[in-house]
Chains A and B, each alone.
Chain A
Amino acid sequence: MPSRRRAFLVLALLACGGLASFAAALAVGSLSLPLPEVMATLLGEQTPNAAIILELRLPRALAGFACGGLLALAGALMQVLLRNPLADPYVLGISGGAGVGAMFAIMVGLGMAGINGFAFLGALGAMLLVFGLAHGDGAWTQTRLLLTGVIVAAGCGAVVALMLSIAPEHKLRGMLFWLMGDLSQTGSPLIALGILAAGLLVAMPFARELNLMARGSDTAQALGVDVRQLRYTVYAVASLLTAIAVTSAGSIGFIGLVVPHLVRLAIGNDQRLLLPASVLAGGALLTLADTLARTVVAPQQLPVGVLTALIGVPVFLFLLARHPR
């Protein structure tokens, strides 16, 4: 029996996990700082390493949290929309489109703003392409949408490979890092955090209707869900969330697929709890992964996307194997 009390309890626990991930992100790095000093700095005291904490680590932790939350929320929404636990922003080609845009911008030598702009346009373009093609004669089935997304993603992958093969040598490293997901180049995290909050605010009022959507569109319609309107809303919101995440951190795989899945295995499929829980869990996980990415081989930095996949794959397989069915 779903209840508000249980939801608050679970969310409070996850929020603590989120805070812990922040503590780790601020204290750990090529220079380890004691937690009391981190706390003192956050509270406004002048400490010797204030610049590292406030100007380097805090924005990066916030950006990581925002991107993780964005990807996890987008994945959770798309899995319900398509009634398919395999759906995520990457499978649907949205990040592929962003990748094409970003590669093009890097190749022609645009700066940070240009890369972000083109990545956003690419994500939006791929989304419109998938949506437009899958829409077809008006009958817009989940299978058709998933298939269109997979094909568009494959096409984008080919275009990216083509650009990598003709790009000049000195630009290759930047392009590869972008493709593998990287939080070291992000600008202000405020936009991503704002969009994350807005996305959650738009999705939450429809949470119970999404529960019904997960049971099939006719069943949902018969039980009082305006299916057409909800589909458009969810697709638009999920696409926007993905576009923002990919724009600010490059292509980070697995969060959108694995986090909603893990949360679902742990607490069930009630979207009223699953959506905010995925945001918290995705944010915490990416913040932790990024902390690891910049510490395991410090002072060198790994692309965080590689780490999310390295952590995500075994955890996912373990949970899947442990659960009957």
Chain B
Amino acid sequence: MNGQGAALIATRALAVRIGGISVCSDLNISVRAGERLAILGRNGAGKSTLLSVLAGLRDGDEGDVLLGGDRYAALAAREAARRRGWLAQRHSDAFASTVLETALTGRHPHLGRWDWETTADADIAHAALKACGLSELAARDVQTLSGGERQRLAIATLLTQAPPLYLLDEPLAHLDLNHQIAALDLFAAAAKDDGAGIVMVLHEPGLADRYCDRVLLLYGDGRHELGDCREMLTEERLAELYGHPLKEVESDGRRWFIPA
């Protein structure tokens, strides 16, 4: 492993472009243990693209992404998978498989080439399924799950992987309100108790304010702003970000932004 000083993930002068559109340029972020960063922006601003660059699934155009101090090119895929987990935005299952088997795929980076999953691995997977409220469905075929159940299974798989850094692409997709809060609470606990770092793409500024320390705003034209939630999440900035006026309301000490 790396020295204690290295951030879980850091970018140096990162520029990302997709289809002729600049997502960001000269981006310098670093996420350390226990820190939570939200990425906000309009549809098509490149939030998911940036997250997959951070996850090493595609290359940035300029600059570097350092995962625990190392470039992805210098890391074996398995080692990278022990340093970061990535939640996909969409899940497609071409073949039948049980819910438990799917959750167990999270153990892959922790197993040797010829190892089979042990009961200890199964215990980890069962605990993750329980945390996501899927214990009852362990023997079900993934192809029969609803969208929300499938999303919770993806989260359970990620918890089974138990990486020190979570990169979450729309973790709330398909989830009911109760499950949205439950999922965010799970990751908040991982950050607080296990010192996990979290980067997540969100659509709701109020939830970003409640569950993250910092926020990265992607304006869709290559400009970005990075800072503390309190400072960044203002009516003016969000109105420009989403191209629609928003009104800030406060309830029980929490800030919410509703479309005007």
Q: Is B28 an interface residue (CB 8 A)?
A: no
Q: How far is the CA of A226 from the CA of B81 in the complex (A)?
A: 11
Q: How far is the CB of B115 from chain A (nearest CB, A)?
A: 8
Which of B34-42, B84-92, B210-218, B231-239 is the contact stretch? B84-92
Contact of A222 among B57, B79, B91, B116 (CB under 8 A): B57
Most A-side CB within 10 Å, residue of B76, B102, B108, B117:
B108
B-contact 0/1 string along A218-235, CB 8 Å cutoff = 110111111100000000
Contact of B96 among A219, A221, A268 (CB under 8 A): A268
Residues of A within 8 A of B181 (CB): none
A residues 265-321 near B (Cβ < 8 Å) are 268-270, 272
Q: Is A2 an interface residue (CB 8 A)?
A: yes
Most A-side CB within 10 Å, residue of B84, B92, B94:
B94
Interface residues contributed by chain B, number (CB under 8 Å): 39
Q: Total A-B residue pairs with C-beta atoms closer than 8 Å? A: 85
Instruction: Give 6 nearest A-B pairs by CB, closest first.
Output: A224-B81, A224-B109, A224-B78, A222-B86, A83-B94, A226-B77
> Which residue of B is nearest A229, CB measured?
B77
Contact of A223 among B76, B105, B113 (CB under 8 A): B105
Which of A56-64, A67-75, A176-184, A209-217 is the contact stretch? A209-217
**Would A269 and B114 count as touching, CB distance under 8 A?**
no
Q: How far is the CA of A208 from the CA of B85 in the complex (A)?
A: 18
B-contact 0/1 string along A139-164, CB 8 Å cutoff = 00000000000000000000000000
Residues of B within 8 A of A268 (CB): 96-97, 101
Q: How far is the CA of A222 from the CA of B77 in the complex (A)?
A: 8
Q: How far is the CA of A223 from the CA of B106 in the complex (A)?
A: 7
Given A226-B76, A325-B143, do A85 and B95 touch, yes or no (CB 8 Å)?
yes
Q: How far is the CA of A76 from the CA of B144 in the complex (A)?
A: 23
Q: How far is the CB of A125 from chain B (nearest CB, A)?
A: 29
> Which residue of A is nearest B76, CB measured?
A226
| With A4-B116, A268-B96 already in contact, 19 other A-B pairs whose C-beta atoms are closer than 8 Å | A2-B116, A205-B113, A208-B113, A209-B108, A211-B105, A218-B86, A219-B88, A219-B91, A221-B57, A222-B57, A222-B81, A224-B80, A224-B81, A225-B77, A226-B77, A264-B96, A268-B101, A272-B116, A325-B96
**Would B105 and A215 count as touching, CB distance under 8 A?**
yes
A residues 1-56 near B (Cβ < 8 Å) are 1-4
Q: List 22 A-B contacts (CB under 8 A).
A: A2-B117, A84-B94, A85-B95, A208-B113, A209-B108, A211-B105, A215-B93, A216-B92, A218-B86, A218-B88, A221-B56, A221-B57, A221-B77, A222-B81, A223-B81, A224-B78, A224-B82, A268-B96, A269-B95, A269-B97, A325-B96, A325-B144
**Would A270 and B101 count as touching, CB distance under 8 A?**
yes
> Which residue of B is nearest A222, CB measured?
B86
Q: Is B151 an interface residue (CB 8 A)?
A: no
Q: How far is the CB of B162 from chain A (nearest CB, A)?
A: 12
Q: How far is the CA of A150 from the CA of B80 in the complex (A)?
A: 36
Q: Is B49 an interface residue (CB 8 A)?
A: no
**Would A223 and B109 count as touching, CB distance under 8 A?**
yes
Q: How far is the CB of B239 from chain A (nearest CB, A)?
A: 34
Q: Is B183 an interface residue (CB 8 A)?
A: no
B residues 106-153 near A (Cβ < 8 Å) are 106, 108-109, 111, 113-114, 116-117, 122, 143-144
Q: How far is the CB of A88 from chain B (nearest CB, A)?
A: 15
B-contact 0/1 string along A192-212, CB 8 Å cutoff = 000000000000010011011
Residues of A within 8 A of B11 (CB): none
**Would B122 and A222 count as touching, CB distance under 8 A?**
no
Residues of A within 8 A of B96 (CB): 264, 268-269, 325
Residues of A within 8 A of B79 (CB): 224
B residues 43-95 near A (Cβ < 8 Å) are 52, 55-57, 76-82, 84-86, 88, 91-95
